[in-house]
């Protein structure tokens, strides 16, 4: 058997991890983060929210069910690099047409296996998300450490412009792409054929495809707009509501979106997810801050303060809304992460505006919060009834 080449992961605190290379032969820098999901590595890699990040998986073996094109959350992997304990030597899945090594190699993403991912995760948890360098090339520890330390970091950086769409389009106009991803006959696969179809202007800050699929299934015509679309661009398509998607980077840096959403909030029902939630926070005049190591995984408990219900949610974010200044800007904190009491949801006191920090579409993760897409539809229906 051919021996695998060496790879290196260097962190800004001076720690260096040597392992075996897979994926592409290259050197990358980014923020070292960890994800606690047991499955869903393909969805994680292709989630644009991971742009600029080197992701460590805490699950011990990754890659055993291969790569399934239909499960991509965007048009290829967006994470900067991938760190795992063991790459599965076999792929067993009738839907798979490739393996993880070939997938990353094809898209120029490096991976490292055979490292102590528990030690890496603990280091990030204790010290916070760290600047890092991952290389599958022949470089020294000193070179890798220097590259890690030279990387400017995520704070103040607008990564949305790197992953947003280049032009407006309608998502899945014939509905064919929104029928393929759940088992026929299950509740999750049912479409809302009995409902009125509402047109939603969906801002693509780095949106996952599964979000658009769920909007489509729940009775929406999804008109996708680039992140830099103006309020006039939105009004031109005559939507019934506005949706703000997830995305990467520092929400405070996406100032053009703050201004646009601020102009739209008085006129339309608005629903935001993840970065969209943070954009709403800024549009209302409140602020966000960087978390020590973020929330990334499919097991984050969230409590709804209005119903008392607790959801297990999928989350992927490194910034959070500042609870202290939300209320004075007209917002109510509706949900809290039970792990650290950070804001997980908000609504406006007077306007039809709400948002969540987590991912109701999951992919990967639990479906506890899938009902929020229906809640968005209901909010629009109520708003139209009141204004007609």
**Would you please indicate which residues are annotated as catalytic (active-site) residues?**
274, 359, 361
| DSSP single-letter state for residue 293 | E
Q: How far is CA 269 from CA 3, 154, 286, 377, in A?
A: 57, 31, 19, 10
DSSP string covering 13-46: TS-EEEEEEEE-S-EEEEEEEEE--SS-HHHHHH
Helices (H), the chain: 41-46, 100-106, 117-127, 141-150, 160-163, 209-217, 231-236, 255-264, 275-283, 371-387
Strand order in the sheet with 220-226: 169-170, 220-226, 198-204, 241-244, 270-273, 353-356, 343-348, 331-337, 288-304, 310-321
CA-closest candidate to residue 376, choices 255, 175, 239: 239
């Amino acid at each position: 058997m051919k021996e695998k080449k060496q790879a290196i992961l260097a962190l800004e605190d001076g720690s260096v991890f040597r392992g075996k290379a897979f994926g592409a032969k290259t050197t990358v820098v980014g923020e070292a983060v960890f994800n606690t999901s047991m499955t869903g590595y393909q969805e994680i890699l292709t989630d644009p929210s991971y742009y600029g990040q080197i992701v460590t998986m805490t699950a011990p073996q990754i890659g055993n069910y291969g790569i399934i094109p239909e499960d991509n959350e965007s048009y290829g992997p967006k994470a900067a690099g991938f760190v795992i304990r063991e790459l599965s030597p076999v792929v067993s899945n009738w839907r798979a047409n490739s393996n993880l090594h070939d997938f990353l190699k094809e898209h120029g993403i490096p991976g490292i296996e055979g490292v102590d991912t528990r030690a890496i995760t603990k280091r990030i948890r204790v010290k916070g998300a760290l600047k890092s360098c991952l290389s599958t090339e022949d470089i020294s520890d000193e070179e890798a450490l220097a590259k890690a330390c030279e990387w400017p970091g995520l704070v103040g950086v607008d990564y949305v412009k790197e992953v947003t769409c280049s032009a407006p389009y309608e998502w899945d106009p014939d509905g064919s792409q929104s029928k393929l991803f759940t088992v026929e006959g299950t509740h999750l696969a049912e479409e809302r054929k009995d409902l009125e179809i509402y047109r939603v202007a969906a801002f693509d800050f780095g949106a996952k495809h599964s979000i658009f699929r769920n909007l489509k299934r729940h009775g929406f015509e999804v008109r996708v707009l680039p992140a830099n679309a103006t309020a006039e661009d939105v009004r031109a398509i005559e939507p019934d509501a506005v949706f703000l998607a997830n995305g990467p980077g520092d929400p405070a840096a996406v100032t053009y979106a703050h201004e646009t959403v601020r102009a739209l909030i008085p006129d339309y029902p608005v629903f935001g997810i993840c970065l969209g939630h943070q954009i709403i926070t800024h549009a209302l005049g409140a602020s966000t801050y960087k978390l020590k190591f973020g929330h990334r995984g499919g097991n984050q408990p969230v409590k709804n303060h209005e119903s008392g219900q607790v959801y297990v949610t999928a989350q992927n974010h490194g910034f959070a809304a500042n609870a202290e200044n939300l209320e004075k800007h007209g917002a109510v904190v509706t949900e809290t992460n039970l792990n650290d009491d950070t804001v997980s949801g908000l609504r406006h006191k007077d306007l039809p505006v709400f948002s969540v920090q987590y991912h109701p579409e999951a992919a990967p993760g639990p479906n506890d919060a899938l009902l929020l897409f229906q809640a968005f539809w209901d909010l629009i229906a109520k708003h139209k009834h009141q204004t007609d």
